[in-house]
Amino acid sequence: MDDRNFHDARMRISRWIEEGAGLLGTVPGMLTEQERLRERLEATERASNRLLQEVNDLRRELDALQCENEGLRRERAELADVLADSLGRVLNETLPRLRAPLAPQGMPAEPSYS
């Protein structure tokens, strides 16, 4: 190897050593950043699990409320049917009496007991 090649190789090696030292200096910062990101990821996963549990709880509550609501709607419909039947009977019994001719004035009308 001649002096020129030797000198060039020596310069490259010196440059690599300097660059390597600079790169090695960034390793502690990278490790610190990696640890910070790992902690942040774990905290995010815990929050995500909490939120998922809350969503599942709310879904169960919603299902229960929808079942209760459906039951109340059925009950309301049944009550409306019973009320309509009762009112229909009352009207069917009352309307003929209301439409019956009145007795002449002074004479009591004949009571109807049906």
Q: Render pLDDT for 9-49 as a digit per residue (tens, 0 to 9).
A: 888 888 888 888 888 888 889 999 999 999 999 999 999 99
Distance of CA 73 to the CA centre of its chain: 23
Specify the residue for token string 């490259």.
12
- Distance (Å, rounded) from C-alpha 94 to C-alpha 99? 9
Single-letter code of the amino acid located at 105: Q
Distance of CA 51 to the CA centre of its chain: 10
Q: Which two tokens stand for residue 30?
A: 């990278």
Is pTM beyond 0.75? Reply is no
Tens digit of pLDDT for each residue in 46-105? 999 999 999 999 999 999 999 999 999 999 999 999 999 999 999 888 888 888 877 666
Q: How many CA atoms lie within 13 A of 91 on its CB side?
A: 6
3-state secondary structure of 68: helix
Phi-psi region of 106 (alpha: psi -120 to 50; beta: other; left: phi over 0): left
DSSP letter, residue 2? -
9 Cβ contact list (under 8 Å, min separation 6): 1
